[in-house]
Amino acid sequence: MTSSVRHNLGSFLPWPLRHIIQSIVRGVNKMTDCIFCKIVDNKAKATIGYQDDQATAFRDINPAVPTHILIVPNKHIESVNVLEAEDEQLMGHLFRVARQLVEQEGIAESGYRMITNTGAHGGQTVLHLHIHLIGGQPMKHPMG
C-alpha cells in the first residue's frame, strides 16, 4: 500500500482506527517489498555495524564518502512524512546510535553530517526512513 493510500485512509478514518491500520500496513510492508526491512531481518546482505531491538545501522552499498552509514528504524516507516507522536523516542534513539557510531568510526572530532532525504525533491530513493551518516572527509557547502 502506498503512502498516498495511507493518507487517503487517514482523511476518512478516526484517529484510533487510522493508527491501527497504519500499524498493520507497516507490518505488511516489512514482510514484503522493502530492501531495508529485509536487511533489518537479515534476509538481505549488508555490512551491519550496529543493531538493537529498535534500530539497525549498515554501510551504504554505494558510499559517497569514506564513512557512509545508513541508520534505520527496525520498524517500517516510509519517511518523515508519516512520523507519529509514538515515534518520538525512536527518532531520538537513531541519534543516540549515531553518537555511538561516530565514536566507533573515529569521526566524532573531525566532524560529520547526518541527512534524511524525503520525497522526490529530497532525493529519497528507498522508502524506508533512514539517516545517512557521512564523514571521513570535509563536506561540501552549500547544501542543496
Site string for ligand AMP, 88-127 (x = CB under 6 A): -----------------------------x-----xxxx-
Who contacts 21 (Cβ-Cβ below 8 Å, separation ≥6)? 6, 9, 13
Site string for ligand AMP, 45-84 (x = CB under 6 A): -x-----------x-xxx-------x--------------
How many whole angstroms separate alpha carbon 49 and alpha carbon 83?
A: 25
Which of helix, strand or coil describes residue 55? Answer: strand
Which of helix, strand or coil describes residue 48? Answer: strand
93 has catalytic annotation: no
> Which positions are catalytic?
130
Sites of contact with ligand AMP (CB under 6 A): 35, 46, 58, 60-62, 70, 117, 123-126
